Amino acid sequence: MAIDASSVRELRDRTSAGFLDCKIALEEANGDFEKAGEILRKKGLAKAIKKGSRGTPEGRVGSYIHTNGKIGVLIEVNCETDFVARNDVYADLVRDLCMQVAATDPTAVSRETVPQDIIDKERKAYSEEFKDKPDNVRDKIIDGKMESFYKEVCLINQPFVKDNDQTIEDLLKKAIAKLGENIKISRFARFAIGE
């Protein structure tokens, strides 16, 4: 099926994907915009996974002060180039991450950054709570409780406050696919009056 330039341009406006990628996706989807969008999303997420190992020496420090002035957030989000760090899509991502931290009060960026003593303490508490259960059942319960714990305390695992159908990790992968660079959250600090 021949795809005209106006259709490619329309898909590009909807998805922000490259012109050639849009043309190929429309050809694969026989002109169906919904299918083409899905093809682009899958390709973008696959590219995002490949880019995950690339270095991120540039970036931006974002800040957010809640309207009542009682909660403030600083966050460092890194990318590969200063060009992307100045991009509006990137700036919106950093702003969204700041608001996420303000709203949900995570304690770590990811599972790997949760101190081992805190993980051990949580596991021990769950083990005590379910000590009457058979070992194999107790282990599954503890694993499930730990997953819930990570969703609560790890920023990357939390549901996005603006769209609970995606996690912060999903949000990052979409930004990586859209911007074409690896993006990482390095650290954050949340300040609240009285805490």
> Helix, strand or coil for residue 156?
helix
What CATH number corresponds to the domain at position 162? 3.30.479.20
User: Which tens digit of pLDDT belongs to each residue from 152-186?
Assistant: 999 999 999 999 999 999 999 889 888 888 899 99
Q: Are 60 and 94 in contact (CB under 8 A)?
A: yes
User: Which of 36, 15, 46, 33 shows the shortest CA–CA distance to 178?
Assistant: 15
What DSSP assignment string belongs to 97-120? HHHHHHHH--SBSSGGGS-HHHHH
Tell me the percentage of the chain whose pLDDT exceeds 70. 88
Whether 100 and 179 map to the same domain: the answer is yes
What CATH number corresponds to the domain at position 36? 1.10.8.10
pLDDT in the model for residue 157? 94
What are the two backbone dihedrals, phi and then psi, of residue 16, each rounded to the nearest 5 degrees?
65, 15
How many CB atoms within 10 Å of residue 60?
19
User: Which tens digit of pLDDT belongs to each residue from 99-129?
Assistant: 999 999 999 999 999 999 999 999 999 988 8
Tokens 């379910």 found at? 130
- Identify the domain containing residue 119 by its residue range: 115-152
Whether 173 and 106 map to the same domain: the answer is yes
